[in-house]
Amino acid sequence: MLREIQLVWRFNRGHKDAVSEIYEHYKHQLVTLAAALLVDKSEAEDVVHDVFVGFIQSAGRFRLTGSLKGFLATCVANRARNRNKSKRKDIHNATNIVEPAVSDNEHPDLAAMFGEEQKQMGAALAGLPYEQREAVILRLRAGMRFGDIAQLQGVSTNTVQGRYRYGLEKLKTHLNGQISL
Amino acid sequence: MKDTRYISRAIRQLHIPASPKLDDRVRRKIAEAALAPTAPSDPEFTPGQVFALFMKRKFIRYTFATTLGLVLLVALVLNHSTTSAWAMDQAIEALKKYKAIHVTGYVNNNSGITPLDAWARSDSTGNLVATGLAKAGNITIWIKDNNTYTYDHADNTVFVEPGINFGFDFCFSPKLLAVIAKMKDYKAVEGEDPATGQKRVIVTCSIQNLDGPESFFVEFDARTRLLVKMRIWHNLKQEGPPKIEFEKIFYFADLPDSAFSFQPPAGTPFTNMPLWVPQANLSLLSDPKSGISTEGMSQEQACQKILDQLWAAFITKDLARIHQLFPRTATYSDEMLRGMDDFEVGQVLKIGGIERTGSSKLGPLALVPSWIRYRDGAVREIWMIVQFRETDQGRSCVVHGQHGYALNVKE
């Protein structure tokens, strides 16, 4: 935490090595987070790229009020959410014209993205409605509090807790092979 | 059967590495970026100083100040000698060569961790701050002519308060080191820093303080005997992140006055710092059994009376009366009370009038100076806050405690 403060302090004073250090330190965590949310590594990397571009532009006026990791995770979650919305819109428009899109859990890139060991988990995550997936991932992977997730999703904490609980139940069901999602 | 625990663990263990392509894209953006330093207070820094941000608001500064102040207050009474080969006396002697310090570190408060950077020069005793300057994002504090000035960049206002309320008074002073050496679980371990090869002495100790438990990690340079790092926790076992961390401490034989000067922007309004007390202290201050009745008295008269009685109680060592007039000492044992500097009071020279007023939820507050001659002959000016309140027993007042730190003055 103290290191984060130092890095932000130097970042605000124009030290590029501070941004580089921040990127190197968090890149894998942020890509993992974005990929788990979007179930698409290419898009996940675009999100992380955009987050850092935005972060770089805030140099000199960036104020850290919590942890840097938490801040960057929230940025990733917001951008992933926006991308998901526009993707849904695109799919909706496309399905009106042509044919149904491939469902998330049939995503061909899952093994490449999550690896063979985690492929099953990737498929299970892909099968969750976005809001539930977001609640589960932000809680378990990003370590965010339900209240913070609620703020991000624009719903009550109870709703987020419900989404989290339903999400976990569906993952459990899927992973135990009881019902196909 | 995969349960929730398995799922939670699996999600936490997900790892999808960033590709070299992403690395290239981001690194290119970083290289292209023109990261202009626009931190607002930088131009006002003295060249060569690396000032950072710290205590954003006065309540945070208060926490910081009281932490250090109370450490001293309580710890003085804990007589416990160390058997370590490390002798604190040598560190105290080493410290006496220096009159000024520059400290960088962090304060951990409710709003997060904030870097701290400050300069201070001691008085002739080496135990009190004579002047100082501390800067932060929105806050700059400096001392001039025995007044404390706080410039709030956000409000573009300078708040003025009488006395020295800087928060560094006891820090790194010979007195503080003597206090640390007397803490009951004091331990000193000598070792070597593997990174630098320098020999270090690590001292750990803890104390049950007025406002709660505190523990300390203090690092000395074994060669120079100077304190080089210090961490303070608000628990007895150094658990979690420290509340305060002094990461780097630089010592100077002395520094010119210019090192402590600060000039707010032209036209900045100056105003009196509102007098206040922390909400956490109100329950102790509201005890109807404490204090004195103020019925039929003006606030001036009441302040004179209660302070007169308090100083008399210190002089005669009437512990019960001190507890009664100064209820924040309720948590002090008799032994702890006897360790307070105030027990060295020899004579009250004068109790002044009300210099500043304010209010808390209990009622009006008054700030009153006293001039005291101590048993060692030193004369000091001490500012005390008196809390007025109205209880079932009628109107009364109690002493909240000292405001800022004692000033050595000439008779």
Fold classification of A111-181 (topology level): Arc Repressor Mutant, subunit A (1.10.10)
Nearest to B2 among A12, A67, A175 (CB): A175
How many whole angstroms separate alpha carbon B381 and alpha carbon B371?
Answer: 5
> What interface predicted TM-score (ipTM) does this complex get?
0.83
The answer to whether B186 touches B180, Cβ cutoff 8 Å, is: yes
Measuring CA to CA, how many Å separate A122 from each of A44, A117, B16, B62, B365? Answer: 14, 10, 11, 50, 63
* Predicted pLDDT at B171: 52
**pLDDT for B299:** 95
**Residue B207 confidence (pLDDT):** 76
The yes-or-no verdict on residue A90 having pLDDT over 70 is no
Q: What are B319-363's pLDDT values in tens digits?
A: 999 999 999 887 666 766 776 777 788 999 999 999 988 888 889
- The chain A residue lying nearest B39, using CA atoms, is A60
Please indicate whether, in this complex, the C-beta atoms of A32 and B16 are within 8 angstroms of each other: yes
B8, B12, B14, best to mutate vs chain A, most A CBs in 10 Å: B14
pLDDT of A66 reads 66
Q: What's the confidence (pLDDT) of residue B403?
A: 85
Q: Report the distance separating Cα B248 and Cα B237, nearest Å.
A: 23
Contacts of A77 (CB under 8 A, 6+ apart): A33, A37, A134, A138, A142, A144, A152
Share of chain B above pLDDT 90, in %: 20
**Residue in chain A lying closest to B107 (CA):** A2
> How large is the average pLDDT for residues B312-324?
92
Residues A30-72 pLDDT 10s: 999 999 999 888 899 999 999 999 999 888 778 766 678 888 9
Whether B69 shows a pLDDT value over 60: the answer reads no
Count how many Cα atoms sit within 13 Å of the Cα of residue B120 in the half-sphere of its side chain.
26
Secondary structure of A114-171 as H, E, C letters:
HHHHHHHHHHHHHCCCHHHHHHHHHHHCCCCCHHHHHHHHCCCHHHHHHHHHHHHHHH
Comparing A116-120, B46-50, B68-72, B290-294, the range with the smallest average pLDDT is B46-50
Average pLDDT, stretch B274-301?
88
Residue A20 with chain B: CB contacts under 8 Å: 27, 30
Average pLDDT, chain A: 80
**How is chain A split into domains, by residue range?**
1-101, 111-181
Better-scored residue on pLDDT, B147 or B197: B147
CA A86 – CA B8 distance, rounded (Å): 29
List the single residue in B with minimal CA-CA distance to A14: B35
Supply A124's token pair: 């299970």
Q: Is the pLDDT of residue B58 over 70?
A: no
> What average pLDDT score do residues B267-289 get?
83
d(Cα A149, Cα A169) in Å, to the nearest integer?
19
Residue B36: how many CB atoms within 10 A of its CB? 9
More confident residue, B277 or B194: B277
The CATH number fitting domain A1-101, selected from 3.30.460.10, 3.30.200.20, 1.10.1740.10, 3.40.50.300 = 1.10.1740.10
pLDDT score of B315 more than 90: yes
Q: Which residues of chain A neighbour B33 with C-beta distances below 8 Å?
A: 16, 19, 56-57, 59
* Interface mutation vs chain B, best among A10, A30, A32, A71, most B CBs within 10 Å: A32
Cross-chain CB nearest to A2 (options B4, B14, B245)? B245
Residue B244 pLDDT greater than 70, yes or no: yes
Asked if B4 lies within 8 A of A168 by C-beta distance, the reply is yes
Residue A97: pLDDT band (50, 70, 90) is very low
Can you tell me the mean pLDDT for A146-150?
A: 88
Question: pLDDT tens for residues B101-151?
Answer: 888 888 776 556 778 788 888 877 776 777 888 876 667 889 888 888 988
- Comparing CA positions, the residue from B298, B289, B268 lying closest to residue B392 is B289
Identify the band that residue B260 occupies on the pLDDT scale cut at 50, 70 and 90: confident
Please give the pLDDT value at position A100: 35
Q: What domains appear along chain B, each with residue ranges and CATH number?
A: 42-272 (2.50.20.10), 279-409 (3.10.450)
pLDDT at A141 over 80: yes
Beta bridge partners of B372: B348, B380
Least confident of A124-133, B72-81, B207-216, B262-271: B72-81
CB < 8 Å from B in window 30-89 of A: 30-32, 35-36, 41, 44-45, 48-49, 52-53, 56-57, 59-61, 63-67
